[in-house]
Amino acid sequence: MERDPLTDIDPVESEEWIEAINSVIETEGVERAQYLLQRLSTKVTETGAQLPYAINTPYRNTIPISKEARMPGDLFMERSIRSLIRWNAMAMVMRANLKDGTLGGHISSFQSSATLYDVGFNYFFRGTTEEQLGDLIYIQGHSAPGIYARSFLEGSLSEEQLDKFRQEVDGDGLSSYPHPWLMPDYWQFPTVSMGLGPLQAIYQAHIMKYLDNRGLASRGSRKVWCFAGDGEMDEPESQGAIALAGRENLDNLIFVVNCNLQRLDGPVRGNGKIIQELEGVFRGAGWNVIKVVWGRQWDPLFEKDKFGLLQQRMDEAVDGEYQNYKSRSGGYTREHFFGKYPELLKIVEDLTDEDIFRLNRGGHDPYKVYAAYEAATTHTGQPTVILAKTVKGYGLGPAGEAQNYTHSVKKLDLEGLKDFRDRFDIPISDAELEKVPYYRPPEDSTEMRYLKQRRSSLGGSLPRRKSDFEALQIPPLSMLESVLKGTGDRQISTTMAFVRILSTLIKDKQIGERIVPIVPDEARTFGMEGMFRQLGIYSSGGQLYEPTDTDQIMYYREDKKGQVLEEGINEGGAFAAWLAAATSYSNNETPLIPFYVFYSMFGFQRIGDLCWAAGDLQARGFLMGGTSGRTTLNGEGLQHQDGHSHILASTVPNCVSYDPTYAYELAVIIRQGLQEMYVEKLPRYYYITIMNENYEQPAIPDGVEEGILRGMYCLQKNAVKTSKKVVQLLGSGTILRESIAASELLQKDFGVTADIWSVTSFNELRREGLSVHRWNMLHPQEKPRLSYVEECLTGVSGPVIAATDYMKAYADQIREFVPGLYSVLGTDGFGRSDTRERLRKFFEVDRYYITVAALSALAQENVIDAAQVTKAIELYGIDPGKPDPVTL
Ligand SMILES: Cc1ncc(C[n+]2csc(CCOP(=O)(O)OP(=O)(O)O)c2C)c(N)n1
Ligand SMILES: [Mg+2]
């Protein structure tokens, strides 16, 4: 049988080693001991031996008592203020539910993290001052009531506002969770979709360093704090980017993981220990890990623990048991935790069961938390994660402390309220209790003065969000002259045109340095590799090697001052970098103009929740969906061909999206985006698809700018009044060119004339149309207004046929506004690889299908005979028995 390598087969020898290392520590110090152990471990691993626990430390506080920084303030004063915050947080949730039992809310998460926030607010979180921009704090979403409660005490929220928790329809309520869209002067970061906070925070710290290295905004000693739940750490987004933080030495980043051992349904790791697991993961990623496991009530017990038995017991017990110790009682803990070893029972023989129950966890001990924060904020060269052990529903007692159902507790009964009040010494009488009143001490009380003094010394009340910024000077459209004038015979794609536009903007004296090109390892795909050398790829470490392609003009140049963000194959991360850049106008008081360029299939579909958060955040910037269109990106097949990103984009209320065909359209749209976002400061972002199909780019026709921006304009007016054989062909993206080709077939083969419309955005057309129709509905006696689509198509003759490289639902959106017959062609179904021509035939969006669809519509209107449609089907070799592509 194999022997457990950790069994001690020679205790005497072990003791000698321990004595030896002890003497090194005593005579030469900890550093020397560390060095020797390092050497030993290197030596031992040479033999192939595994050091299984190298990455974990025992289940104890990382900072020994001797190294704890001492909290300078008034512990008792802070406890009483914190108790009021606890009470008011609980009261606001309860009062909302007393009004209407359906509003919901959370009590127990904040009760577990109250000390973690409080120590931060009292000593560490700095607001923006003349000298320095403030710290950025990502607050755990469902702890929002506690943050509101503090703002109430600090005087920045009123009792009336607290009473409007979760009642936002009138516009002055408090949002359930942090939502900058709904409270734009208060909340900075949407975090409640679990995992998005940690991911955003990492890239926030990354962009902060980027700005500093590029000399655009000084970082000073600013910090990004991110509070997250231990359950939340299971989200791939939470942990997915921690290696970047380690690699980039983001010492401006501090994670605080509230390890209350529970998530919504039950324990996070009943059979293991979440703190130990996270320690290993973060340490492996190069983080400074600070565990705050035990509060100071335990310190004397450790002193009595001469043989490490208490430590051993702590290492043995699993989180499911630790939860029991807090959900049951001191007596239970004595029996089940200490009782396992008689020696441990002796250690606690002088303690009552109540004393045992009060043995506090590190995250509830302001001294331990302070020491951890102090160590984190002064640590250099690495990001820090603080793993703070807490109790979910702390203080709720029998009403829900550490119970599996704790997360969902929304109210306490009278007994529960009494217990809570007594436990935290809240000065509210029995008679008043039932109404659950808020409590705010008089303005001149010592508590209030203390609270305000603490915050004013740290730069004022937080959270606080800055909405406004200094408008940028955007160059006129004529700056993009070279793109507007067309390419003559030369064929280029809109992607290539985009790269030209971007290069031109980057050269602009006013805004050039603010442009941030971002790519997830796809620069070459989009022909952007020229920017590598020209602008440099941002790398905090510069370039420590000579790239293999230094002899090339476009070599891979990494630079500390590089402008391009090359985030690797990491769409979520690259988007989070875009988000940080797109909100830099607020968080760094430095507006940036980020362009994130990606495979359009891996945009909204892959990271849709972040795109949604971008709307909430009022991100300003451009998303460029490259290689767009189900048939345009032809060879790549099912997983790459995007036929629906515009539909997904349309779900974000403040995302403006376009599918332009021509380079000049793209130029007009980008210029307008700059104008709207950075001059008019409209809270929106742009999604624009670009393609890789090469064709001649015409010069901009006169007077089309407004139509391009509103969503459609007439590209070719061919119809003559005398003929009834007229159709209106609408096309977007590359498929517009098929519509143009169809118009030629219609004329040549069937004597039908077609007007051609370039539709740059069905999404924008629909939005405008819906809003006009809504107005008409609500103003029944006024002259009805016309939607823009109606304006364009009223008075022109013939049925309307739209074709795009997207699902039919995309063009179908404007049906309500199209006067007369409307047919839509699109690319429903899974993509597949083949030539563009064959794919367009397969998806039935090519010129022949458009022609047949147009003839079919004319036949339905009795303008031509149905036999003409049959003739076209035969003439173009279309198989009427062909299976519907959506089924394949
Ligand atoms: C992406 C996502 N999935 C699910 C939820 C629903 N949800 C809200 S809180 C919560 C449990 C959170 O547990 P934890 O992260 O440990 O935080 P705690 O309340 O324990 O501090 C869940 C599942 C959510 N908000 N976001
Ligand atoms: Mg938890």
Q: Which of 116, 394, 407 to mutate to test the pocket of ligand 1 (most atoms within 8 A of CB)?
A: 407
Give the residue among 659, 662, 688 at the shortest CA–CA distance from 673.
Answer: 688
The per-residue pLDDT for 4 is: 64
Q: Would you say residue 54 has pLDDT above 70? A: no
Beta-sheet pairing, 695-696 with 491-492: antiparallel
Interval 586-599 mean pLDDT:
98
Confidence bin at 3 (pLDDT 50/70/90): low
pLDDT digits over 389-421, tens only? Answer: 999 999 998 888 999 898 988 888 999 999 999
How far, in Å, is the centroid of ligand 2 from the Cα of 580? 27
Q: State the Cα–Cα distance between residues 413 and 90, nearest whole angstrom.
A: 12
Q: Which pLDDT belongs to residue 101?
A: 85
| Distance, CA of 159 to CA of 165 (rounded, Å) | 10
Which two tokens mark 332? 């239970």
Q: Tell how far the Cα of 408 is from the centroid of ligand 1, in angstroms.
A: 11
How close is the Cα of 238 to the center of ligand 2, in Å? 14
What amino acid is encoded at 447 in this protein? E
Round the average pLDDT of the chain to a whole number and report it.
96
The whole-angstrom separation of Cα 663 and Cα 667 is 6
Mean pLDDT is lowest, of 53-67, 116-130, 140-154, 871-885, for: 53-67
Other CB atoms within 10 Å distance of the CB of residue 265 = 11
Torsion of Cα atoms, 499 then 503 then 506 then 508, to 10°: -130
Q: Which atom number of ligand 1 is nearest to the Cα of residue 609?
A: 1
What proportion of the chain, given as a percentage, has pLDDT over 70?
99
Is residue 117 helix, strand or coil?
helix
Distance 268 CA to ligand 2 centre (A): 7
Residue with tokens 């005490």: 153
Q: 25: pLDDT confidence band, cut at 50, 70 and 90?
A: very high
pLDDT tens-digit profile of 339-366? Answer: 999 999 999 999 999 999 999 999 999 9
State the closest ligand 1 atom to the C-alpha of 264, by its place in the atom list counted from 1.
Answer: 11
Assess whether pLDDT exceeds 60 at residue 873: yes
Q: From CA 761, how far away is CA 657, in angstroms rounded?
A: 7
Ligand nearest to the CA of 233: 1
Least confident of 88-102, 121-135, 321-335, 674-688: 88-102
Buried b (16+ CB within 10 A) or exposed e, 775-796: eeeeeeeeeeebbbbbebbeeb
pLDDT at 6: 67
Q: N- to C-terminal Cα distance for the chain?
A: 58
pTM over 0.75: yes
Q: What was the pLDDT predicted at 46? A: 82
Question: Cα(11)–Cα(650) distance, rounded to whole angstroms?
Answer: 69
Distance 195 CA to ligand 1 centre (A): 9
Check if the beta carbon of residue 697 is closer than 8 Å to that of residue 667: no
Reduced to 3 states, what is the DSSP secondary structure of residue 137?
strand
Report the pLDDT averaged over residues 138-153: 98
Which whole number is the average pLDDT over 94-112? 91
Q: Which ligand lies nearest to the CA atom of residue 177 in the structure?
A: 1
Ligand at minimal distance from the CA of 259 is: 2
Can you say how many angstroms the Cα of residue 752 is from the centroid of all Cα atoms in its chain? 51
Condensed to tens digits (0 to 9), the pLDDT of residues 424-462 reads 999 999 999 999 999 999 999 999 999 999 999 999 999
What integer is the mean pLDDT of 651-660? 98
**Pocket probe mutation, ligand 1, options 264, 265, 610, max atoms within 8 Å of Cβ:** 264
Cα of 417 from ligand 2 centre, angstroms: 23
Protein residues with CB under 6 Å of any ligand 1 atom: 109, 112, 140, 142, 192-194, 229-232, 258, 260, 262-264, 268, 392, 407
Q: What is the mean pLDDT of residues 729-746?
A: 98
Cα separation, 90 vs 112, whole angstroms: 12
Kindly tell me if the per-residue pLDDT of 610 is higher than 80. Answer: yes
pLDDT score recorded for residue 719: 79
With bands split at pLDDT 50, 70 and 90, how would you rate the model's confidence at 2? low
Q: 808: pLDDT confidence band, cut at 50, 70 and 90?
A: very high
Distance of CA 781 to the CA centre of its chain: 46
Residues in Cβ contact with 711 at an 8 Å cutoff, skipping those fewer than 6 apart: 759, 760, 761, 762, 763, 764, 765, 768, 788, 789
Give the model confidence (pLDDT) of 231-276 as tens digits.
999 999 999 999 999 999 999 999 999 999 999 999 999 999 999 9
For residue 464, CA distances in Å to 223, 299, 348, 459, 850 come to 15, 38, 47, 11, 55
Identify the bridge partners of residue 759 per DSSP, sorted by sequence position. Answer: 712
Can you give the pLDDT at residue 136?
98
Q: 474 forms bridges with which residues in the sheet?
A: none
Coil vs helix vs strand at 334: helix
Mean pLDDT over residues 619-639, rounded? 96
Instruction: Please give the number of the atom of ligand 1 that sits closest to the Cα of 258.
Output: 21
Residue ID of nearest Cα to ligand 1 atom 4: 194
* Confidence band for 99, pLDDT divided at 50, 70 and 90: confident
Full DSSP string of 737-779: HHHHHHHHHHHHHH--EEEEEEES-HHHHHHHHHHHHHHHHH-
Question: What's the rounded Cα separation, in Å, for the pair 483 and 664?
Answer: 6
- Contact assessment for residue 91 and residue 438, using Cβ atoms and an 8 Å cutoff: yes
pLDDT in tens, 470-506: 999 999 999 999 999 999 999 999 999 999 999 999 9
| pLDDT over 90 at 74, yes or no | yes
**Residues 6 or more apart whose Cβ sits within 8 Å of residue 747:** 718, 753, 754
- CA 826, 829, 834, 838 torsion-angle sign: negative
Is residue 615 within 8 Å of residue 654, measured between CB atoms?
yes
pLDDT for the residue numbered 800: 98
Q: Which atom of ligand 1 is nearest to the CA of 112?
A: 21
Confidence of residue 886 (pLDDT cuts 50, 70, 90): very high
For a ligand 1 pocket test, name from 142, 257, 259, 404 the mutation site with the most ligand atoms within 8 angstroms of its C-beta: 142
Closest CA to 398 of 488, 350, 327: 327
What local confidence, expressed as pLDDT, does residue 53 receive?
54
| Whether pLDDT at 321 is above 80 | yes
The CA-based angle 45-50-53, given to 5 degrees, is 115
Could you tell me if 515 and 474 are in contact, meaning their C-beta atoms sit under 8 angstroms apart? Answer: no
In the prediction, which pLDDT does 654 show?
A: 98
Is the pLDDT assigned to residue 50 strictly greater than 80? Answer: no
To test the pocket of ligand 1, the residue of 116, 138, 175, 194 to mutate (highest count of ligand atoms within 8 Å of its CB) is: 194
Share of the chain above pLDDT 90, in %: 91
